[in-house]
């Protein structure tokens, strides 16, 4: 007679996985309702984060990847192959992956007609892909009523990115799509840090004039001192007073090496803030790819980061908190949100004239988030002002 298999008291491996998944889904859902600042919060002091890290798929691929910086370089490569078949590649023997943004922009501004024409063709094609991505996003409830979209990320900074956005705006007008596109006003290197000042309520920053922020992307990591002036209901005059950047992808850094360097950069910035006489808040805000649960775990979307970041045992806020220790004698607090959300918050003061806006960050992938103004201290959307 066959032996009867008995289950362990804590269940099978499959049951454990399902239980862990249910806990993660609950933690993510709670971020929408927790009434105080938490990791991945949907309810901030003045705005509601109505969506972020939306992963639209077409077959096996993410729709947003069609508008990424990688997709633009692939478009350049396709056009170069066609040019080589005609016996005239304006970029010569250099691999497309080795072409820097400056080289492409130099070809556009000062290169031969063939090189400029090739870049213009890539700009037009990429703008059409961006418009298609926007139209697909606008079919979603959170995106349908968006009045303005801010285009951020490293790709938006420069002549080529500006032309892509301008061409996409023209195509949207032709299609009678009522949405305005803007490139992010700040330097993209600073935008992902500056928005961190809006992740917490202004009263939490009273008595301080600066805080630490981390912008963790798929290629680079930036750490900075964010200076500000706290007001009664808002944080004003936000700027990045100092910044450290490491292009860790060039060094094939592991997860441990990356987190260790982040802690080292933050420790150096604490010393710099003390030397400059800043009143540094015992707070670190982190912008990180992926869907962030209220308990600080990364649910999904961090596939571009080195190593495994989704494991239940790995908790980035705790790693940073334990590594950094105290700031001015106070135990440091760490708050984490999606990097696109933080970058969109850097445009806080420029969005006063619309009720709903969104952000698309074009980089290694395509980050996304949407926002809606609401009354400070409540969860209700702010009423639209009547025109007199």
Domain spans of the chain, in order of start: 187-345
CA end-to-end span of the chain? 87
Q: Tell me the torsion sign for CA atoms 91, 96, 99, 105.
A: positive
CA 213/CA 194 separation, integer angstroms: 8
Nearest CA to 221 out of 309, 287, 131 is that of 287
Interior/surface letters 150-174, b for 16+ CB within 10 angstroms, e for the rest:
bbbbbbbbbebbebbbebbbebbee
**pLDDT for the residue numbered 189:** 87
CA 124/CA 225 separation, integer angstroms: 38
Q: Under a CB-based contact definition with an 8 Å cutoff, are residues 258 and 316 in contact?
A: no
DSSP H helices, the chain, are 13-30, 69-85, 101-110, 113-137, 141-144, 159-174, 188-194, 255-275, 316-324, 339-345
CA 383/CA 373 separation, integer angstroms: 9
**pLDDT for the residue numbered 388:** 45
Q: What CATH superfamily is the domain 187-345?
A: ATPase, nucleotide binding domain (3.30.420.40)
**pLDDT for the residue numbered 5:** 43
- DSSP annotation of 162 reads H
**pLDDT for the residue numbered 270:** 96
**pLDDT for the residue numbered 233:** 62
What are the residues whose beta carbons fall under 8 Å from the beta carbon of 251, sequence distance 6 or more? 257
Instruction: Say what the pTM is.
Output: 0.83
**pLDDT for the residue numbered 30:** 57
- CB count within 10 Å of CB 355 equals 19
**pLDDT for the residue numbered 2:** 47
Q: Under a CB-based contact definition with an 8 Å cutoff, are residues 251 and 260 in contact?
A: no
Helix and strand numbers (H, E) in the chain are 10, 16
Tell me the two tokens of residue 166: 């301008």
Per-residue pLDDT of the chain (388 residues; tens, 9 = 90+): 444 444 444 457 777 667 666 665 665 555 555 555 689 988 888 899 999 998 888 777 778 888 888 889 999 999 999 999 888 889 988 899 888 888 999 998 888 899 999 999 999 999 999 999 999 999 999 999 999 999 998 887 888 989 999 999 999 999 999 999 999 988 888 999 999 999 988 888 888 999 999 999 888 999 999 999 876 567 778 999 999 999 998 898 999 999 999 999 999 999 999 999 999 999 999 999 999 988 888 988 888 888 888 877 889 999 999 999 888 888 999 999 999 999 999 998 889 899 999 999 987 778 899 999 976 444 445 444 444 4
DSSP H helices, 98-158, are 101-110, 113-137, 141-144
- Write down the residue that tokens 């269940």 correspond to: 11
């Amino acid at each position: 007679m066959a032996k009867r298999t008995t289950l362990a008291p804590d269940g099978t491996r499959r049951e454990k996985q399902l239980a862990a998944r249910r806990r993660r889904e609950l933690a993510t859902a709670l971020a929408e309702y927790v009434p105080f600042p938490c990791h991945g919060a949907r309810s901030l002091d003045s705005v509601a984060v109505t969506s972020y890290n939306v992963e639209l798929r077409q077959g096996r691929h993410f729709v947003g990847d069609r508008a990424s910086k990688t997709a633009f370089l692939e478009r350049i490569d396709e056009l170069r192959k066609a040019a080589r078949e005609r016996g005239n590649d304006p970029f010569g023997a250099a691999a497309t992956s080795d072409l820097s943004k400056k080289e492409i922009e130099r070809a556009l501004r000062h290169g031969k007609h063939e090189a400029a024409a090739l870049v213009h063709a890539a700009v037009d094609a990429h703008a059409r892909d961006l418009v298609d991505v926007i139209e697909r996003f606008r079919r979603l409830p959170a995106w349908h009523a968006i009045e303005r979209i801010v285009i951020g990320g490293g790709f938006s900074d420069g002549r080529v990115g500006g032309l892509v956005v301008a061409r996409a705006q023209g195509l949207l007008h032709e299609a009678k799509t009522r949405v305005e596109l803007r490139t992010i006003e700040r330097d993209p290197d600073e935008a992902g840090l500056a928005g961190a000042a809006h992740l917490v309520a202004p009263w939490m920053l009273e008595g301080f004039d600066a805080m630490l922020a981390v912008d963790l992307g798929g290629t680079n990591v930036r750490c900075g001192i964010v200076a500000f002036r706290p007001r009664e209901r808002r944080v004003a005059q936000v700027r990045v007073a100092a910044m450290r950047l490491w292009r860790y992808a060039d060094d094939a850094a592991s997860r441990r090496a990356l987190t260790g360097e982040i802690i080292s950069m933050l420790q150096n910035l604490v010393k710099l803030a003390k030397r400059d006489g800043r009143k540094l808040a015992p707070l670190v805000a982190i912008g990180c790819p992926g869907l962030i649960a209220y308990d600080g775990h990364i649910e999904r979307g961090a596939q571009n980061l080195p190593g495994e970041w989704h494991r239940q045992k790995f908790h980035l806020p705790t790693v940073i908190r334990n590594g950094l220790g105290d700031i001015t004698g106070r135990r440091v607090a760490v708050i984490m949100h999606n990097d696109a959300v933080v970058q969109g918050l850097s445009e806080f003061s420029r969005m006063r004239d619309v009720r709903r806006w969104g952000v698309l960050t074009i980089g290694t992938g395509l980050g996304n988030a949407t926002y809606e103004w609401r009354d400070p201290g409540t969860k209700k959307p702010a009423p639209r002002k009547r025109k007199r």
